[in-house]
């Protein structure tokens, strides 16, 4: 399901040494190497990816389809499709995810809630009689 779909390209970067205070909204892909004090939200109803590198610190909510964390997040995380926690990840907040991959060394201080994406149910097909 997750491996078959192409990831959105990373079009935004907050470099190491940079700091943003306030809301950060993005489309497609975003990489955070610096510090964000505020919420990071992907634009809804578009495929989205956010990467929080090992040098990054986020103090706020992180919301996207696919979230990859190898740094520190102090706040809730919502990954509609996939949450990847790399070995240096530290999340201090509640986590909601469709699917999760967690590497040895990653830490979550909060509640985990599996929230699978809504999938369309196949249509019921009735067998026709051959009479």
Percentage of the chain exceeding pLDDT 70: 86
**Contacts for 84-90 with beta carbons within 8 Å, 24 or more apart?**
86/54, 88/54
Tokens matching residue 38: 């505020």
- Give the model's pLDDT for residue 45: 86
pTM for the structure as a whole: 0.86
Name residue, tokens 């040494």. 17
In this structure, is residue 21 part of a structural domain?
Answer: yes
Contact between 34 and 17 under an 8 Å Cβ cutoff? The reply is yes
State which residues form the domain around 66.
10-114
Band of residue 122 on the pLDDT scale cut at 50, 70, 90: low
In this structure, is residue 64 part of a structural domain?
Answer: yes
Count CB-CB contacts under 10 A for residue 63. Answer: 20
In this structure, is residue 80 part of a structural domain?
Answer: yes
Domain count of the chain? Answer: 1
In this structure, is residue 40 part of a structural domain?
Answer: yes
């Amino acid at each position: 399901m997750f491996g078959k779909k192409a990831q959105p390209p990373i079009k935004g970067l907050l470099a190491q040494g940079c700091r943003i205070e306030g809301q950060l909204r993005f489309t497609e892909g975003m990489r955070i190497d610096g510090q964000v004090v505020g919420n990071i939200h992907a634009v809804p109803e578009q495929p989205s990816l956010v990467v929080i590198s090992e040098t990054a610190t986020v103090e706020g909510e992180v919301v996207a389809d696919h979230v990859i964390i190898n740094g520190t997040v102090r706040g809730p995380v919502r990954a509609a499709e996939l949450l990847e926690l790399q070995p240096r990840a530290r999340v201090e907040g509640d986590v909601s995810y469709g699917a999760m991959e967690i590497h040895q060394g990653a830490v979550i201080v909060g509640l985990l809630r599996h929230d699978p994406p809504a999938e369309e149910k196949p249509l019921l097909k009735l067998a026709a009689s051959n009479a």
